[in-house]
Amino acid sequence: MTIDYHPNSNFNKRLVTFKIRSSKLLNIMWRQRWIYLLILPTVIYFLVFKYGPLWNAQIAFRDFKPLLGVFDSPWVGFKHFEAFVTSFYFNQLIGNTLIFSVAKLILGMPLAILCAIALHETWLKRFRTFVQTTIYLPHFLSWVIMFGVLLVVLSPGNGLVNDVIKRFGGEPIPFLTSPAHFRWVVILSDIWKETGWSTILYLAALLGISPELYEAAAVDSATPIQRIWYISLPGILPVIMLITLLRMGHILEAGFNQIFVLYSVPVYSVGDIIDTWVYRQGVLQFQFSLATAVGFFKGVIGLVLILIANKIAKRVAQQGLF
Amino acid sequence: MKNWKYVLIAVVLVSTQLLAACAQEPAAPTAAPEVAATVAPVEPTAVPEPVDITLWAMATVTEAGPPPDDWIAYDRILEEVNVNLKYEILPTGSDGEAKLNAAAAANNLPDFMQMVSASNDPRGALYNLVQLGLIAQVDDMLALMPERTQKHYNDPLALSLSTFDGHLYGLPEPPPIPRREGLLIRKDWLDKLGLAVPTTPEELMAVAVAFTEQDPDGNGKKDTYGLGGFLNGDGMGTRFDFIMGAYGVAGMWDFDDAASFGLNVRNEKYPEALAFFNSLVEAKVIDPDWPTLKRDDFRARWKQGLFGIMWEDFAALSNKSNYTPFDENFPDAEWVPIPAPKGPYGDATYGVYTGRGQIFAVSQKAADEGKKEAIARLLEWMATDGYYLLGFGEEGVNFIIDANGNISTEGLDPTKAYTAAEFQPFTQMRNQLVFYNSTQEIAARYPNWTTINGRTMQPLTYLTFYQSQPWVDGRGIQVILPPANAADFLRYYTEGIVQFALGQKEVSDENWAEYLAGLDSLGAVEYEASAKQALIDAGLLK
Amino acid sequence: MLRVRTRDAIAFQIGVAIFLSIILFIILIPLWRVIVTAFVPLDTYTREGIPFFLAPWDWTVEAFRQLITHSLFPRALLNSFIITGLGTIISLLLTIPMAYGLSVKNLPGRNFFMILILFTYLFSPGLIPVYLLITRMGLTDNFLAIILPPAVSVYNTLVMMRFFEGLPDELREAAALDGANEFQILWNVMLPLSKPIILTIGLFYAVYFWNEFFTPILYLNDHDLMPLPVLLRNILISASFNEYVEYDAFSSSALESLKAAGVLITMLPMLAIYPWIQRYFTKGTLVGGVKE
């Protein structure tokens, strides 16, 4: 490779265009100065309150000793990551975690969207307000309370569901302690509790669609289904895409609070997830470095998935994040 | 737009809060100097400055909150032992453990604190903090508090368990009364069906079947179970030890002697015990929710008369407040304690007692600041001059001592009695730092009372019966530290056992050998060896 | 919205109503259960557990009375209101500008800022690293320790950004031509059009702060600062540790009833707030915004 020093070389041209471009860039930036000023406090906030802890999170690569502090604790590289990845139940933990989080996403999301559309479509105004307010309330029930409810509904002794099964001559099913059924209990109870809550967001999105579009559809005498298919759904698609993308980033979060309350020894094999393992191994035994390392592990997986999902979203629907 | 006003107010609020926070920052590491400053004028002369002590301890009654700032005990502590006490209540269980661990991680522990452990292993918590160099040695404190040492720190074993590398690091408070749980049966059900008290696993099974199928409560519905219980720990937990004990394999470890020491699952009688338990499950005579039930649900269920045989704490059963709901439902019912059933090889064990009590510790930081002596003064005072004040309140106002020397509330304003709900904030330290199971205390805590149809309930007779039963001394478990892969090992250990008990896996020689092999692949042999060494080092295994 | 009452449309409406009724019914089961539990009298509870329907004469507000008359209740309620109010305001003040800034597609460095915040969404540092920062800042026993670390949620920011993106560009351009600066555009043009999403995100923040109990336990040592969820938790724990509390019953309600009543009490403000928010869900949307 030779380097061309000729005065009219490409290099100089590029330099010139770079100068022009950068002055253009500066120009644009100057015009947008108010926006930079607007976001400045939040950026500072992020540097202090989000990156500050992340800087401390280097304990994932150290053997954290409180007396030595974060920065003087001995460096151990990937020891904690290894401890997690080579642990006895690693594959099962990842599998269970993925099953729960993916199932909650692909079963829960369409239902929430459906509810939002139904609420948006209905003509009964009072009914809508009532339904809307009611279905979002279960979000406030803690999982401890939900466990009590599930016990009443599902107990093989005197639970409602099993009463019905017994009445039809069936054998009672111990839903909460049977490995064959436990995953469904987790997934469906999560949908039960959270669908109403996630409906809010889609409803807000539906309300952001310009009424003119619906008026035009009415003029063209579109059927309700057509209206939903060609106006409502495309109207909230950006939000749906965004939420799917973000959920991809947290694919290894399967709902610690729920599992921790609902699971029991007989269903560990189908219920134990990464976070419950970390709780038993890390937090209870003063292994904060390990807990932080697992957090990073989840972040890396999330990062990879969100990058892929972003690519796909951009290509398919021009709806990427960056 | 008028909204800007609100925004302005918000901004001002935020900035003032931020400023306040910044202003506090330099003061944070040292404990409240301004408190000392306000105290100083009261004692102008030769008296040394009062020592600031921050104490973190759990509450006796969590709902009641801490004592108010003008609590008389604070003044007396300041006057009599020259300590400026700041008492902060630690949350219970995993919340408290997280709080303590976080403070430890930030090297920000209080001067004097209770070890909190969600898994009921305060010694393990202490050990962790000692390893991190955050806890001070307290050997020299005992001599400074002779009376307290005699009343509270008189158990050589408890002391040795808080000793690491030859130094005492924790102050072991007397445990709650040991061997306080036991096996109970509904005598009214037995009588109605004309059955005798079961003495062997087979008879237990027969009675359980009868309780399940012969409508012992006579309501015409098949809505009862022979047995109730729940899973509360590793393996089969502690609530079914009487069954495992009939085969000589109660608890996780075999503590008999150094030669036989190891995991109980090594014993060939262990699968037999599980097979028997599984036969109870198969016969559907045990409340089918037992593997997932929580303790509170379990307690609600026996009060509803759901089952006739159970394992329960004597106070949770028979103290007035606990028994009354059951009494109102079933005034003619009666729970009687029964002995441990005897298994086919003549084994009978009631349970394993671990002697775990609360442990308090002094932070290294406090020791460096020379606070150990003041803490010892405070503790001695709690066991002497301050004992009644912290345990029961003021004599003549909150309690009286009657002619027999018993604590009583007779003739006092009931809202001021030490037993009143309103008074609980003032005796929050009692279970953690004050009580030591004296006869007078026990009589005050577990009084006799009369049921609706005139029967006298005597909580202490249950206790006495329980304590007379054959228990395994499992105090050694305290020195056994969890293996490095605890989450995996304990899960495998427990999951396998419960699968056999539930019949998810059939108890066969082949399956059992496979289970044990899996346990070995997770390091069971090494774990047993290190546990054995620890026990021998502690002089607990011969 | 125009309503054309064709036969199709009416059939569709019936379908929608049936669908919503089924959803409502399913979701009401646990809710109903909790309500019954909260009102069940202690003796009914110990006799037969919690029935599915309470007899009209057989209910009690004892559990509510017991919680509300607790001596620490008013203080805890006040603390909760302060934390929730202050927290929501701070959160919105930090979230809205960021969301707006990111919604400007041609902002130089937009991707940089996007990655800056997304990174923190993916990698959560965990309990101890945050604790170290907060205690070093001296925020122990300060509500800001509860409020600041979670004050901006990346999720909420991006959702709000997406809504801003959905607003027509002409609005901004027209305002810019009129000589408005970005502050004025955001304040006078964008915000009035975004009430539904701002209220929704505000609700998300408010609910988070209202329910939060763990960080108060961690950072607040002074009992006078405890918010409601912590108090309720303490009461419930106490009720379930009764074997060591031997004196007279402190509880004249079943533990289950206390739990349920506690949940209903915490729900109440949220129940009041949501219909109010819904008013803005129908008003103040884009209607007319573009035409003017």
The per-residue pLDDT for range B513-536, each reduced to its tens digit, is 999 999 999 999 999 999 999 999
Q: Mark whether C132 and C222 lie in a shared domain.
A: yes
- To the nearest whole Å, the CA of B128 is away from the closest chain C CA by 16
pLDDT in the model for residue A16: 58
Question: In this complex, do A135 and C27 lie within 8 Å of one another by their Cβ atoms?
Answer: yes
pLDDT in the model for residue C195: 85
User: A212 pLDDT band (50/70/90 cuts)?
Assistant: confident
pTM: 0.86
Q: Give A 16-55 residues with CB within 8 A of chain C.
A: 25, 28-29, 32, 34-36, 38-39, 41-43, 45-46, 49-55
Kindly report the backbone phi and psi dihedral angles of residue B262, in degrees, each rounded to the nearest multiple of 5, phi listed first: 165, -175
Smallest CA-to-CA distance from B393 within B442, B428, B443, B439 is with B428
Q: Mark whether C73 and C51 lie in a shared domain.
A: no
Q: Is residue C170 situated within a structural domain?
A: yes
pLDDT in the model for residue C217: 92
Digit-coded pLDDT (tens) for A86-123: 999 999 999 999 999 999 999 999 999 999 999 999 98
Q: Mark whether C177 and C207 lie in a shared domain.
A: yes
pLDDT in the model for residue A9: 54
Least confident of B26-35, C213-222, C264-273: B26-35
User: B199 pLDDT band (50/70/90 cuts)?
Assistant: very high
Q: Is B224 on the interface with C (CB under 8 A)?
A: no
Cβ neighbours of B504 in A, within 8 Å: 179, 266
ipTM of the complex: 0.88
Cβ neighbours of C23 in A, within 8 Å: 115, 118, 131, 135, 195
Percent of chain C with pLDDT over 90: 40
Least confident of A89-103, A269-283, C70-84: A269-283
Q: How far is CA A306 from CA A106, A251, A302, A321, C253, in A?
A: 16, 9, 6, 10, 49
CATH 3.40.190.10 fits B181-349+470-477, yes or no: yes
Q: Is residue C190 situated within a structural domain?
A: yes
Mean pLDDT throughout B465-491? 90
pLDDT in the model for residue C3: 62
Q: What CATH number did the domain enclosing C246 receive?
A: 1.10.3720.10
Digit-coded pLDDT (tens) for C206-247: 999 999 989 999 999 988 999 999 988 887 776 555 555 554
Query: How many whole angstroms from its chain centre is CA B73?
Result: 26
User: B20 pLDDT band (50/70/90 cuts)?
Assistant: very low
Q: Is residue C199 situated within a structural domain?
A: yes
Q: Is residue C128 situated within a structural domain?
A: yes
pLDDT in the model for residue C97: 94
Mean pLDDT throughout B387-408? 91
Least confident of A179-188, B105-114, B248-257, C31-40: C31-40
Q: Is A66 on the interface with C (CB under 8 A)?
A: no
Q: Give C 90-129 residues with CB within 8 A of chain B.
A: 90, 93, 127-128
C60, C92, C110 — which closes off a domain? Answer: C60
Neighbour count for residue B48 (Cβ, 10 Å):
8
| Exposure b/e, B107-132, CB count within 10 A at least 16 = b | bbbbbbbbbbbbbebbbbbbbbbbeb
> Which of B132, B487, B498 lies at the smallest CB-CB distance from A280?
B487
> Which of C16, C197, C285 lies at the smallest CB-CB distance from A122?
C16
> Which of B289, B294, B492 lies at the smallest CB-CB distance from A157?
B289
pLDDT in the model for residue B540: 85
Q: Is B187 on the interface with C (CB under 8 A)?
A: no
Chains that touch A (3 or more CB pairs under 8 A): B, C
Question: In this complex, do A67 and B133 lie within 8 Å of one another by their Cβ atoms?
Answer: yes
B135, B230, B240, B491: which to substitute to probe chain A, counting the most A Cβ within 10 Å? B491
Q: Mark whether C143 and C78 lie in a shared domain.
A: yes
> Which of C129, C196, C287 lies at the smallest CB-CB distance from A59?
C129
Mean pLDDT throughout C84-98? 96
> How far, in Å, CA of A234 to CA of C226, rounded?
46
pLDDT in the model for residue C251: 58
Angle between helix A274-281 and helix A90-121 axes, rounded to 10 deg: 130
Mean pLDDT throughout B38-59? 73
User: B471 pLDDT band (50/70/90 cuts)?
Assistant: very high
Domains of chain A, start order: 84-317 (1.10.3720.10)
Q: Residue B511 class from Cβ within 10 Å (0-12 exposed, 13-18 middle, 19+ buried)?
A: middle
Q: Is residue C139 situated within a structural domain?
A: yes
Number of domains within chain C: 2
Place of tokens 């059992």: B512
- To the nearest whole Å, the CA of C57 is away from the closest chain A CA by 23
Mean pLDDT throughout B283-308? 89
Q: Which residues contact C131 (CB under 8 A, 6 or more apart)?
A: B102, B105, B106, C218
Report the mean per-residue pLDDT for chain B: 87
Cβ neighbours of B118 in A, within 8 Å: 284
Q: Is residue C168 situated within a structural domain?
A: yes
Boundaries of domain holding C52: 1-60
Question: In this complex, do B105 and A88 lie within 8 Å of one another by their Cβ atoms?
Answer: no
**Angle C156-C162-C166 from CA coordinates, rounded to 5°:** 145
- Looking at the predicted structure, is the pLDDT value of residue C107 above 80? yes
- To the nearest whole Å, the CA of B6 is away from the closest chain A CA by 19
Cite the residue boundaries of each domain of chain B with CATH code 3.40.190.10: 41-176+356-437, 181-349+470-477
Least confident of A52-66, B20-34, B253-267: B20-34
Question: In this complex, do B106 and C131 lie within 8 Å of one another by their Cβ atoms?
Answer: yes
Q: Mark whether C35 and C70 lie in a shared domain.
A: no
pLDDT in the model for residue A285: 63
Q: How many CB pairs under 8 A join A and C?
A: 263
Question: In this complex, do B223 and A268 lie within 8 Å of one another by their Cβ atoms?
Answer: no
Higher pLDDT, B101 or C275: B101
Query: How many whole angstroms from its chain centre is CA A292?
Result: 19
Question: In this complex, do C235 and B63 lie within 8 Å of one another by their Cβ atoms?
Answer: yes
Q: Mark whether C84 and C214 lie in a shared domain.
A: yes
Place of tokens 């960056």: A322
Q: Is residue C9 situated within a structural domain?
A: yes
**Domain B41-176+356-437 belongs to what architecture?**
3-Layer(aba) Sandwich (3.40)
A284, A289, A290: which to substitute to probe chain B, counting the most B Cβ within 10 Å? A284
pLDDT in the model for residue B2: 44
Digit-coded pLDDT (tens) for C173-214: 888 888 888 888 888 888 888 888 899 999 999 999 999 989
Q: Is residue C289 situated within a structural domain?
A: no
- Looking at the predicted structure, is the pLDDT value of residue C96 above 70? yes
- Looking at the predicted structure, is the pLDDT value of residue C280 above 80? no
Least confident of B36-40, B412-416, C8-12, C202-206: B36-40
